[in-house]
Amino acid sequence: MRRAPTQQRSRDRVENILKAACELISASGSDTMKMGELAEKAGVSIGSLYQYFPDKASIIHALAERYNEESQHCIDEALAEVTTQSDLIAAFDQLIDTYYDLFLAEPVICDIWTGTQADKTLRDMELEVSRANAQSLVRTILRLRDNDGDGATFAARCLLIMYAGEATMRLAISVPASEGREIISSYKRMVGRELSEMLQV
């Protein structure tokens, strides 16, 4: 964002802009969204829009940041409840299913993440989020192992799990649903084996 809103009225205006952007992207994709069209739908002047978002890419990035924050909170919350190895694998399986269903149901998320590889800022953001989520997984593994283990090794393995998860979702939503479900199931089996191995003391 060009300028972070400080007053409630400004925050409401930004929320309204992002909501309108979601509706336009859901209807026809981000490629066809125009700034003028967005300003009109959000009920703001084009000048007001540019005060907060200098271009369309900044809007996509703001939406991506929002979804990333929500996903990190969801992952942290799910892992906080884990007390055993079977709990961890079950929780991770549920997270994978939840995200796949969310990606299928939310055209905006699909639009953002299918275009990630073409946008360096989004690629960097994805890596940063994968690292943060990997650290949550590492902390859970070490907690279950009573802090017995090589955190650096686990960090690399968990980063692979999280980053591969993003790639798996992009692939799964780009193929027919039946094939997508098989891809998701295969990923869950691979992750289950990796988690079981890291949890062996």
Q: How far is CA 32 from CA 36, 64, 84, 107, 186, in A?
A: 12, 18, 48, 14, 35
Average pLDDT, the chain: 91
**Is 2 a residue whose pLDDT tops 70?**
no
Q: Report pLDDT digits (tens) over 74-93.
A: 999 999 989 999 999 999 99
**Is 3 a residue whose pLDDT tops 70?**
no
Give the pLDDT confidence score for residue 201 in this predicted structure: 72
Q: Report pLDDT digits (tens) over 27-68.
A: 888 888 999 999 999 999 999 999 999 999 899 999 999 888
Q: At what angle do helices 151-173 and 85-105 cross, to 10 degrees?
A: 30
Mean per-residue pLDDT, 114-134: 87
**Is 10 a residue whose pLDDT tops 90?**
no
Give the pLDDT confidence score for residue 164 in this predicted structure: 96
Q: How far is CA 5 from CA 78, 125, 164, 192, in A?
A: 31, 22, 35, 43
Dihedral (Cα; 157, 158, 160, 163), 10-degree rounding = -170
- Euclidean distance between CA atoms 126 and 119, whole angstroms: 11
Give the pLDDT confidence score for residue 112 in this predicted structure: 80
**Position 131: which residue type?**
R
Does 106 or 160 have the greater pLDDT score? 160
- What is the pLDDT confidence band of residue 24, given thresholds at 50, 70 and 90? very high
pTM equals 0.84
